[in-house]
Structure 1
Amino acid sequence: MQGDEDERLDRAFLALADPVRRGIVARLSRGPATVNELAEPHAISLQAVSRHIQVLEQAGLVTRTRDAQRRPVHLAPEALERLTAWIDRYRLVHERRFRSLDGLLAEDPTQEDPR
């Protein structure tokens, strides 16, 4: 199943590579919004915003629901949690390495070993 997870990560990171899509995700972090609301800060057509939302949907980062005549877009927090977990795994490895390096650099080579 690692291949499926890798593919999901690839789609999500590819979707987030675009600044408009990152802006949409940032806006949705404050709550659901319609396509019109998501389009407001961008100088692009509603059709273009809809295509960006489709990319985010295919990446599993957002969902759409039906509320009477409205079709609000919602952030999929579990997808963002997967991305964060993946990033954290590598961040923690590097933090341990830096702490180890800091420890080595903090040792004063001019002092005698107390043993």
Structure 2
Amino acid sequence: MTNSEDAIIVNGIGAYAVTFFEMGDSSDVVRQKLLSEWRRFGEPAGVFDAAAKAISGFPQPVLESVENTERKRAILEKLGAQGPEEQLVAALRAREVLGSLGKEFG
């Protein structure tokens, strides 16, 4: 694989991890889904640690005033979308699971 192909896999695994948590999956479910994807790509070494690090470079939710955040929260809830706090929690949980997988599988 080329460096650009590796980067696509790393960023993809990281994005999957965050998205799975945003969709409400448990840590165990996310772990199994990520292992499945990792195996599908041929079990590349170091991908979990690299994906955990890559998450810090992903776009972060826009910080807004409390007033704006509260006003938008009702709309987000109706849409079933995550607010900034939930997005950050999903990213942190994703990094934690990826780091754990990295320790276990390299």
Q: Structures share a fold, TM > 0.5? A: no
The TM-score, its normalising length taken from structure 1, stands at 0.28
The structure where strand makes up a greater share of residues is 1
The structure where helix makes up a greater share of residues is 2
Larger Rg: 1
The TM-score, its normalising length taken from structure 2, stands at 0.30
Larger relative contact order (C-alpha < 8 A, sep ≥ 6)? 2
